[in-house]
């Protein structure tokens, strides 16, 4: 069995679904079901004896100890995190609690469990920490992409809290010998993406005839990674990655935000035409967010060189799959758009003055 934290979130849920589609090895799935954790994403696993879901918090040491002792996992895959930069600006305390204190608590519970295992099981055990490229800070237009040795320069409460969690994982390996793996990924997109992030927000707002908010001049550049490719990369690292190493996972798809929005509008014009005109008419430039990093880019050559992984999707294929998935699953979108979500959108976007 593997133990997945945050397995009802966007990437975590995709990973659990992907894992159980490819393997009969059971998954213990712990998620606090905060705003971004959604059991609807795991609906297809109802009644599946391989999926053991527990609602709980990674800061709850007693719960972690009980679950580890009861289920005896051979690996922990740690997704659980507060993960939206804008939310971290409005409320940084939750990010420190979950991403820093939560990771510390999980590391300590895992260390106690791992230390009591027989020597052969200790050697085979893995703690896989899933992190982000945002810990590296911002790149200039001509700078080389982030490598695994790039200096950490986090610029938001979110990225600072993730950087802290990365450092804790590294320290627990070097100090206590815990067999860890860390992956830092670029911007994910795909099915089950909570509609406050750029791509699902644009799709949902466009279909509803609402404004499509673009921060600043829209020229912020991100490297886009289809979530199915990310899941495949994590499987490879968990299976064959070198203990103590970090692997950057990217999609080799650098795009400015405005191009992303325009591409989605063009796809919707094709797949769900609006008789009133192109969806691009809803694009609105709004005031930029504080400390907005200008460019991220991942150098994913290490994972390709050592483990043979590279993304299967181009941005063109991945974004088409993503738009089609949203069109095919209106019920999922409707159910995740709770009152809390609508209040958040009002706070973060509607109240912004036009740029």
Residues forming the active site: 133-134, 158
The answer to whether the CB of 269 falls within 8 A of the CB of 279 is yes
**Sequence-ordered alpha helix ranges (H) in the chain:** 10-22, 61-71, 85-90, 92-95, 103-115, 119-124, 157-176, 198-208, 227-240, 257-271, 301-307, 315-328, 330-336, 339-345
The number of beta carbons lying within 10 Å of the beta carbon of residue 41 is 23
Token pair, residue 52, equals 């053991």
Distance CA(354)–CA(286), nearest Å, equals 4
For residue 178, what are the CA distances in angstroms to 27, 75, 125, 127, 171?
Answer: 21, 11, 9, 8, 9
For residue 227, what are the CA distances in angstroms to 26, 48, 148, 240, 332?
Answer: 21, 23, 20, 20, 18
The number of beta carbons lying within 10 Å of the beta carbon of residue 292 is 16
**Whose CA is closest to 106, among 59, 70, 62?**
59
Distance CA(335)–CA(29), nearest Å, equals 21
């Amino acid at each position: 069995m593997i133990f997945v934290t945050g397995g009802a979130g966007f990437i975590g849920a995709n990973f659990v679904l992907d894992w159980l589609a490819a393997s009969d090895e059971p998954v213990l799935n712990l998620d606090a079901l905060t705003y971004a954790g959604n059991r609807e994403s795991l609906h297809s696993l109802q009644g599946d004896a391989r999926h053991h879901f527990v609602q709980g918090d990674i800061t709850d040491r007693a719960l972690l100890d009980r679950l580890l002792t009861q289920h005896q996992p051979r690996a922990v895959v740690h997704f659980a995190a507060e993960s939206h930069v804008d939310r971290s600006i409005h409320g940084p305390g939750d990010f420190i609690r979950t991403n820093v204190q939560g990771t510390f608590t999980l590391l300590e519970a895992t260390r106690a469990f791992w230390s009591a295992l027989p020597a052969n099981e200790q050697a085979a055990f893995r703690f896989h920490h899933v992190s982000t490229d945002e810990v590296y800070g911002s790149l200039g237009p001509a700078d080389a992409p982030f490598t695994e040795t790039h200096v950490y320069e986090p610029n938001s409460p979110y990225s600072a809290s993730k950087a802290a969690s990365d450092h804790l994982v590294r320290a627990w390996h070097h100090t206590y010998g815990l067999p860890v793996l860390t992956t830092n990924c670029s911007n994910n997109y795909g099915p089950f993406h909570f509609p406050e992030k750029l791509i699902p927000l644009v799709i949902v707002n466009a279909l509803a005839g609402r404004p499509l908010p673009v921060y600043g001049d829209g020229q912020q550049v991100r490297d886009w990674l289809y979530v199915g490719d990310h899941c495949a990369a994590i499987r490879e690292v968990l299976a064959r990655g070198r203990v103590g190493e970090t692997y950057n996972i990217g999609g080799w798809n650098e795009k400015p935000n405005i191009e992303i929005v325009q591409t989605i509008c063009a796809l919707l014009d094709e797949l769900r035409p609006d008789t009133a005109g192109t969806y691009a008419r809803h694009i609105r430039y709004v005031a930029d967010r504080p400390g907005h990093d200008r460019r991220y880019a991942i150098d994913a050559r290490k994972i390709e060189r050592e483990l043979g992984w590279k993304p299967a999707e181009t941005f063109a294929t991945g974004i088409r799959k993503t738009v089609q998935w949203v069109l095919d699953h209106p019920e999922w979108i409707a159910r995740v758009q709770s009152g809390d979500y609508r209040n958040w959108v009002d706070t973060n976007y509607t109240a912004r003055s036009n740029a």
